[in-house]
């Protein structure tokens, strides 16, 4: 059972339509004041009115659309696809990568989410399963700029979306760039991880 909670949105990549959305823990719209976690139920009587109100507001907030998330883990799939297309890596070559807990890029140390206990040797499949930032940053640096941009086009990153709120999105970002270098691409990917 998921104890930390989570959310997911499934979209149509061709037009941006939202096909499904789920958030956990959820609550029953028919009884919105019914507490949805055991921890909150156990502490409810000892909470101040302000803390109770804040807890209810947090319970009702749809994190899938109310919070901002960087698309880094999504871009790990793009990086993996590009590296497989270029023949840079294989899916299950054991120990091909090594997570040391972080990687330094342009003087900034970017940590793995499990920096305190690094993953160690990993295959590409394991790096995807572990969502390991250092592996994908290092892998991205090996992919030629032209190929990653071609892949972006293949997976419709540059295509206009009919969803008005996202029209300026990533396409606008790419149009602003006068020239692309390997460092620019790496910085872009790094900023999204």
CB 166 within 8 A of CB 19: no
pTM, whole model, 2 decimals? 0.53
pLDDT for res 45: 92
Tens of pLDDT, residues 27-71:
788 888 888 888 888 999 999 999 999 988 888 888 888 877 666
Confidence of residue 89 (pLDDT cuts 50, 70, 90): confident
Tens of pLDDT, residues 122-159:
999 999 988 888 998 888 888 876 667 777 777 666 56
pLDDT for res 48: 94
Give the separation between CA 80 and CA 187, rounded to whole angstroms: 17
CB 164 within 8 A of CB 16: no
57-58-60 Cα angle (round to 5): 65
pLDDT for res 174: 46
Domain ranges of the chain: 6-66, 73-192
* 67 C-beta neighbours (distance < 10 Å), count: 9
Confidence of residue 168 (pLDDT cuts 50, 70, 90): very low
Tens of pLDDT, residues 73-88:
778 888 888 888 888 8
Helix (H, G, I), strand (E, B) or coil at 20: strand
- DSSP string across 86-150: HTS--TT-TTSEEE-SEEEETTEEEE-TTTTS--EEE-HHHHHHHT-HHHHHHHHHHS-HHHHHH
pLDDT for res 49: 92
């Amino acid at each position: 059972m998921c104890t930390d909670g989570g959310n997911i949105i499934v979209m149509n990549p061709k037009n941006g339509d939202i096909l499904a959305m789920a958030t956990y823990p959820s609550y029953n719209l028919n009884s919105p004041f019914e507490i949805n976690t055991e921890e909150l139920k156990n502490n409810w009587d000892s909470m101040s009115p302000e803390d109770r109100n804040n807890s209810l507001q947090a319970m009702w907030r749809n994190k899938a659309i109310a919070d901002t998330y960087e698309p880094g883990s999504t871009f790990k799939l793009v990086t993996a696809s590009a590296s497989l297309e270029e023949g840079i890596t294989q899916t299950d070559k054991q120990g091909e990568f090594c997570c040391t807990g972080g990687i330094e890029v342009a003087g900034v140390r970017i940590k793995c989410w499990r920096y305190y206990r690094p993953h160690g040797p990993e295959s590409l499949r394991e790096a995807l399963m572990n969502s390991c930032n250092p592996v994908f940053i290092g892998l991205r640096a090996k992919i030629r700029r032209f190929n990653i941009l071609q892949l972006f086009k293949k997976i419709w990153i540059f295509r206009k979306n009919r969803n008005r709120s996202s029209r300026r999105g990533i396409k606008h970002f790419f149009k602003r760039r006068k020239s692309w270098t390997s460092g620019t691409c790496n910085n872009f990917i790094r900023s999204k991880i």
